[in-house]
Each structure stands twice: as C-alpha cells, then as structure tokens.
Amino acid sequence: MDLLILAGGVVFAIGVVRYIWKLKVVISQLKRDTFFLEQKIKTFPQEMANMLVPIRHQLAAVAAGGVVPGDLIRDGRLYREISSEDAEQARVTEGTEPDSVVFLDVRTTQEYAQGHVSGATLLPIEELDLRFSGDVPMMAKKVIVYCSNGERSRLACDFLSRQGYFNLYNMHQGLQRWNGPRDGEPEVSLIQIQSKTKKSEPQGIHS
C-alpha cells in the first residue's frame, strides 16, 4: 500500500512539474508577444506617417496641375521597381523615340567611365540636388535610375519623386545584373598590366 501511495505521489509530482513547465512556456510566450506588441504600438505613428508621404506628394502634384499615374496612387508608391531584364526590354521596345526611355546613372564619374549602360546619363547622387532639374527629363516616358546594386538608385528615386517626378523606375538589381549593351572601359588591374608588360618584352637571343 505504501508503495502504491508513493508511486501515486511520484506520478502526481511529475504531473505538477510538467504543468508548471508548460505554464512557464506559455507565460514566456505571452511576455514576448506583449513586448512585440508594445514595440509595434510605439512605431505605429511613424509607420502611418510614412504611409502618408506618397499621398501628400501626389496631392501636391495634382494641385499644381500635374498628372499622377493611377497605379502609383493605388499602390501608395512614389516610384516603380524594375528588374535589369525588364529595363533592357523597355530599352529595346520603347526606347526608339528620343527621350522616351532614359537611363540615369547615379554612380561616380570613375565608376561610369569603367562601364555603364549604353547612352546613359551620368548624374552622381552627390550632385543630384543641384543638377536634377536640367539633367532629368520630366516628360520622359520612363527614367530608369541605376547604380551598382540598387541602393543609391533607390535614394535617388526617393529624392526625385519628391521633386514631382512620377516617371521613375528603380533598377533594383543594379548594373551588376545588366546584360544589355555597355559603354566605357573596364578598370585594368595591376596583374593585367604586369601580364601585358611581360608579353611585350623582347625575347632574349639564344646562342
């Protein structure tokens, strides 16, 4: 009998331990959920403000007599994203008319010289605020902005869209994924120079 009581007590104790452990897991999950909810509540006003930014700029453009494309209004965006492949397709199919499809390179002068999309306009992002009005056509059908990997071009699109441009396309994959025609001279490495030098050296005279 004592053994049965002891065994029953052990089983009960194990059950209590398991219950307490499960309860601790639930409480920990509730604490995590509460923490994330509090963080969400804290950031909600800023998120709402960010969501209203495109609407404010679009309304300002309309009030000034401009035309805002319907898809940007529906999507709540100031500019569009485009892949390198689609950008090349646009160049081929839509770029036959002058200034219809414009490629805007926002990298440095040195990067541009080493290789760029054929016919692209160079406008380094550091000079964007001073030169955009003269170098970025407002009436072009598409202004495709690119850099090396899509980060600087995103910032450029963000800036230009706030100046009233609604024909912007950020080539988010950057020039590194561009397979279309290029202009410029790739940078020659020191190893390549040494290799060319060795090849150009006259061979010795063998006796």
Q: Which secondary structure element, helix H or strand E, spans residue 105, and what is its range?
A: strand 101-105
CATH of the domain at 137: 3.40.250.10
Would you give the distance in Å from CA 41 to the centre of its chain?
A: 27
| CA–CA gap between residue 110 and residue 148 (Å, rounded) | 12
Q: Are residues 134 and 85 in the same domain?
A: yes
Q: Are residues 54 and 143 in the same domain?
A: no
| CA–CA gap between residue 122 and residue 108 (Å, rounded) | 8
Is 203 or 171 the better-scoring residue by pLDDT? 171
Domain finish residue from 60, 76, 92: 76
At 88 the pLDDT is 95
Strands 182-183 and 116-117: antiparallel
Residue 106, domain member (yes or no): yes
Domain that holds residue 166: 78-186
Contact in structure between 106 and 131 (CB atoms under 8 Å): no
Residue written as token pair 């003269």: 134
C-alpha pair distances (Å), 20 with each of 15, 29, 38, 200: 9, 14, 27, 81
Residue 67, domain member (yes or no): yes
Q: Are residues 96 and 172 in the same domain?
A: yes
Is 94 or 44 the better-scoring residue by pLDDT? 94
Q: Are residues 59 and 19 in the same domain?
A: yes
Each residue of 75-127: pLDDT tens digit? 888 999 999 999 999 999 987 777 799 999 999 999 999 999 999 999 999 99
Each residue of 139-155: pLDDT tens digit? 899 999 999 999 999 99
C-alpha angle 124-125-126 in degrees, rounded to nearest 5: 90
Residue 198, domain member (yes or no): no
Rounded to two decimals, what is the model's pTM?
Answer: 0.66
At 195 the pLDDT is 55
Q: Indicate the burial class of 84 (C-beta count within 10 angstroms; 0-12, 13-18, 19 or more).
A: buried
| CA–CA gap between residue 6 and residue 13 (Å, rounded) | 10
